[in-house]
């Protein structure tokens, strides 16, 4: 039985989508390695995957797995240049939000 003041019943599809997107970002930021990757990309957009691996000092397979998660949640975008892939934060709005959240998390 629903409570009379249950606000979730009045959410629009756009509000639900926004909440789900924000939740995905928070999940992405919970992991320390993904935090480091995101901070790198905030500081240096369009970074080749090899540079990400080198700067995080992580194993290629583990970094690739975390980058895959960030791609799945649409936190990052990719550009393929020959055999190399470059990563960036998805967009300016997300970039702003992630900068604020990373400031608070630091």
pTM above 0.85, yes or no: no
Q: Give the model's pLDDT for residue 55.
A: 97
Q: Give the model's pLDDT for residue 1.
A: 44
Under-70 pLDDT residues of the chain: 1-9, 92-93, 95, 98, 104-106
All structural domains of the chain:
16-105 (1.10.10.10)
pLDDT digits (tens, 9 = 90+) for 12-40: 888 787 777 777 777 777 899 999 999 99
3-state secondary structure of 48: strand
Q: Give the model's pLDDT for residue 95.
A: 67
Q: Find the radius of gyration of the CA atoms of the chain.
A: 16
């Amino acid at each position: 039985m629903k409570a009379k003041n249950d606000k979730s019943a009045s959410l629009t599809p756009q509000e639900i989508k926004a909440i789900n997107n924000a939740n995905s970002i928070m999940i992405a930021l919970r992991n320390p390695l993904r935090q480091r990757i995101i901070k790198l990309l905030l500081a240096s957009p369009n970074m080749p995957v090899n540079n990400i691996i080198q700067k995080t000092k992580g194993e290629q397979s583990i970094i690739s797995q975390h980058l895959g998660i960030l791609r799945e949640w649409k936190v990052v975008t990719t550009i393929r240049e020959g055999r190399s892939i470059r990563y960036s934060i998805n967009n300016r709005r997300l970039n702003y939000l992630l900068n604020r959240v990373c400031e608070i998390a630091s």
